[in-house]
Each structure stands twice: as structure tokens, then as C-alpha cells.
A and B are shown apart, each in its own frame.
Chain A
Amino acid sequence: EAQVTQNPRYLITVTGKKLTVTCSQNMNHEYMSWYRQDPGLGLRQIYYSMNVEVTDKGDVPEGYKVSRKEKRNFPLILESPSPNQTSLYFCASSVRLITDTQYFGPGTRLTVL
């Protein structure tokens, strides 16, 4: 089944404790991105990647890191999480272009205490 998977789905952590949220797609898509969803703000893009080893900042990249060492994986790294990073995070992928249909993962609900 074609899908985007994220792990973990739920995470509660404390300020400053490094964490990684994994994202993997099995559709051989070139474009991948991370979004955060906050009430009243919709989805805001954190980072995106056009292909392996090619990443760029979205609208709200501060406090986040990403890497794209393999085509299928695009992990989101929070080196020192803070409470303002409490949010619902979505990974998405599309064939090649941002204008292609994006396929979203199920989301990761992160709480930083």
C-alpha cells in the first residue's frame, strides 16, 4: 500500500531533550516536506526537500533540523525542544514538484513540557 508513515504518533517530552520524528514514504517520491499544524494557523511548512541531500527552509524552520540521506526517509530533528514546539506535525511527499498531489502522513502529536 502506498503510504507515508510517521513515528512516533504521540510523544510527550521535556524541554531540552533531543528528539527525532521519523518519516518514510514507499512511493519513490522526490519531494518531501514537514508541516506543523496549530489551531487558527493552519499548516505551516517547516522544511522541504527536493531530493536526496537537497533541503531548504520553509516558513518556520527555527528550532528544527532535517536530513535527506535516502530518498524514502526525511526525519525531523528537534535538538533542544521548547514548549512552543508543542504541535501536531505532518510529513508529506509528492512525486517531484510542489504542484503535484501531496500525500500526508497520519501526524505526530508532540507535547513539550
Chain B
Amino acid sequence: AQSVAQPEDQVNVAEGNPLTVKCTYSVSGNPYLFWYVQYPNRGLQFLLKYITGDNLVKGSYGFEAEFNKSQTSFHLKKPSALVSDSALYFCAVRILDTGRRALTFGSGTRLQVQP
């Protein structure tokens, strides 16, 4: 069965510092990988996705993520954090090689950026 793990419940970083939010996945086929962000009292918003091609994916608000097949990871990164980046971040995966048309989400990582 496909699964995705976000090993950190919370990440704290100072404004201006680089940030990383970790995601690892477990699949038996080729994955589609996504990052979504949830601001307080809001629905999720799409940040970026990896389908195929270049392993480094650039997304909204200056975020990027690198697909690493050997480490089965898809960590979210940003060179310089902003206080406004503070939110709940979700990694999600869909496996291409199954007929199941569903996304599996991680448990979420709360990012806190201190001024």
C-alpha cells in the first residue's frame, strides 16, 4: 500500500533562514508527489507537484522541492523563510501504476517562522 510520512510534527525556523519540511514515501510504483499548504481556518492550497522530468520542482511563494528516488523523499524547501509562511504543510502521493484514483496525505507538519 502506498504511504507518505512527514516525520516532524513541527518545524521552527527564524525569519530569513532557509527552511526544510521533510516528506518520505513508500510505494511500489512510480509516484506523483504533491505539497499543499493550509493557512488557519482555510482550505488547502496547492504549492507544487512532481510528475516526471526534472527532479527539482519550483512552486508557488518561492517554495521548491526535490524528488529523490533513491531516498524516496520529496522535501519542501525555501531559501529564506517569511513569517507569513507559518502554516500547516501536507505532502501527498498518488501511485501511477494502480487503478486507484486517490491521493494519500501525510499527517502534516506545522511550520512556525519566528520574526
A residues touching B (Cβ–Cβ < 8 Å)?
4, 31, 33, 35, 40-45, 48, 50, 56, 58-59, 90, 92, 97-99, 101-107
Contact = CB atoms under 8 A, between A and B. Distances in A.
A40 B107 contact: yes
A105 B93 CA distance: 20
Contact of A42 (B32, B43, B105): B105
A59 B46 contact: no
A40 B94 CA distance: 20
| Interface band, chain B | 20 to 34
* Chain A interface main SS type: strand
B51 interface: yes
A43 B43 contact: no
Contact of B51 (A40, A99, A104): A99
Given A90-B43, A90-B44, A104-B43, A59 B51 contact: no
A43 B49 CA distance: 17
A104 B45 contact: yes
A42 B44 CA distance: 11
A98 B103 contact: yes
B105 A99 contact: no
A44 B105 contact: yes
Nearest to B91: A42
A58 B102 contact: yes
A4 B102 contact: no
B102 A48 contact: yes
